[in-house]
Structure 1
Amino acid sequence: MSGPLDVTDLAADLIRHPSVSPDSGESQIALGATLSAMGFTVTHLPFGDGAERTPNLFARLGTGHPHLCFAGHTDVVPPGSSAWAHGPYAGDIENGLLYGRGACDMKGGIAAFVAAVSAFLAREPQPRGSISLLITGDEEGPARFGTQKVLEWMEAHDEIPDFCVVGEPTNPAVMGEVIKIGRRGSMNVHLTVSGRQGHVAYPHRADNPVHRLLRVLHELTAVPPDQGTEWFEPSGLQVTSVDVGNPATNVIPAQATAALNIRFNDLHTGAALLGWIKTICQRYAPGTVIESQISGEAFLTKPGPEVMALSEAVQSVTGREPRLDTGGGTSDARFIARYCPVAEFGLVGTSMHQVDEHVAVDDLVSLTRIYENLLERMVA
């Protein structure tokens, strides 16, 4: 490698490899070639079969500790049906902005880390610690054959890092605002209450499931599951759908359903919340069929030396002291938290998933400098 790589060129090149989730793998092949030229040992790790086949990449430089890992994803959401002023895969730059699908979520973040490593190695060719990248191709999709599978492989091969930074866009408006040190858990629940159909004029001959379902929903929503914690806001349960499918005005229906979503903090587990729901259903509507899907458990990385090093790196570059936060939706950090401390910090996310997604070139440069500063603090 002749010298530090340009972050804007790296990001534009990644954007020019279309990679709607799940990534076809071409963007990771290009990324792997760049990392190999920098001295990384690159391992391509496809998991899944057929349409679910997902490309993944793990690359490591060095064998020592501390071991700092950067995690991200090359897959992107579709460009949508609206016309783009700049092609979604053109990687155009205009008025200081880089346009393209994935510019901020999150090919720009990947480019910033690679550029940061190249600049760091130009000054520290023999770091005491080691550096790695965990890159998946299905974060925007079902996430079945991505980060989870790579982590299992990493554990089996003694590659688990001491600290991981996920490069998701965490800043609401300007660089340096927010570091995420945790995320709420999320679960979806579907309830089906059965009764006995009948004429509304003769309710004693029927069993109205709607009435019993309403009692269940009232109990579930009457009081929040908790009052929040030091790092998390109160858990929240939202009823997202109630359906009966009854076009008649004089018929008591035979069945009623409801859908719920719960975003929960680290006072709960998905299993415990499911038990709570089952207890209430048993009380008001015995026999309720309950289906659930837990997309992620809550996690928290309590502030320690690694989080403080990241915070100091952000402040040294931006002049802002970032807020440590646990809000927002889910990310692949929920999987990484099972193995090692993890925090999230990346670009400004105002345009992610939108038409004409873009990132300021100055922000790409700032993020590169922040990651470079973190490398100096952790592995130099």
Structure 2
Amino acid sequence: MNVPSANPPLIAAADKGDMAAVERLLGEGARVDVMDATGRTALMAATQKNDLPLARRLIAAGSDVNARDITMLSPYLCAGANGFNEILKLTIASGADPHSVNRFGGTPLLPSSEKGFLRTVRVCLTAGIPVDRANDLGWSALLETVILGDGGRLYGDVVEALVGAGADPHLRDRDGKSSLEHAQALGQERVLAIFRGEGAAAGPGAAMIRQAKQAEKAEHYEEALAIIAAALAQHPADADLTYYKGYYLYELGRHEEAIRTFETVLASSPDEVEFHFYIAYAYRAMKQPEAALAAFDAGVAKKPETPFLRYHKSNYLRELGRHEAAVAVMDELLARDPGRYDFAFHKGNSLRSLGRHEEAIAAIEIAIASDPGNPLYRRHKAQSLKLLGREA
């Protein structure tokens, strides 16, 4: 049995990305799945750093891709939630359970869809993860994509991938609303076109975009980029084509070029605020958090009434462990829309991470009042009460 300890040397070495130390410790007989006080293994530490060579070495040494930490994350679930595609593929090939779920009851398909990690969504679908499985919030991947996306180019492609895999736009959430009804209420015209079977691209470069997408689905990003570059030579002002150029550069790891490409759209069309999101994600991939947060803020300043960029900024702040700032963003969102009990729930989780359990309980109570029968909210309230030494 793995008994957690404070800071096992193997995990400390993995945290530092020190392959030589990992090799030495394994050679000396260190247990590959030893856990620290939070239930992390060395493989989880390598996954959190997106360190593919180290993850590959630890899996080869027998590390369990399904081993969970105290937050119920496994290396497989962590890789899927963060868009670490090569580690995700490695864990799937190494015996990951495609039906395993995180503490919210979601497979990796849900957070990857929510965050707009299109490539990760494709990996999940190829692995056979059930496309319509709902989490404990009552949301399927398609519902999350519509509710928490912006209906723009990237999220339209996520919707297209999910629908192509058989996702049901008529599946209803716990409030009785379907993805189709949410998309109608939110005015997501690209998404509605996909639901009608028309496809999202409709501009002069639409045929070339469809051709590029075929190459993209096979992960032939250089080929997809070449197709788009040829189309842009004919239609240089087409914002859809410019988006795909930036997206393929992003997937090829050419993040600075992707940012410059996205910025060309904003220079001519400042209202295309979704491009601030794409820029933020490129900076995220470059591990430049302040630049990423500034990109989110630039978009928020242009359209303060839309929750999309604020929500994803708060997601990123939680990822960075900046829970005070995440709570502040959630407060902004709740001030504009007090009925969003999912926002209140996420605020409660950040407050709990800060040790502010009474406030966390108060936030989660808002969610419970909106959806009294949801066991997820009651479970999280019970956890906060337990941390306060009180019974649920």
TM-score range, shorter chain: under 0.3
**Structure ranking higher on relative contact order (CA contacts 8 Å, 6+ apart):** 1
What is the TM-score when the length of structure 1 is the normalising length?
0.27
Q: Higher strand share goes to which structure?
A: 1
Q: Higher helix share goes to which structure?
A: 2
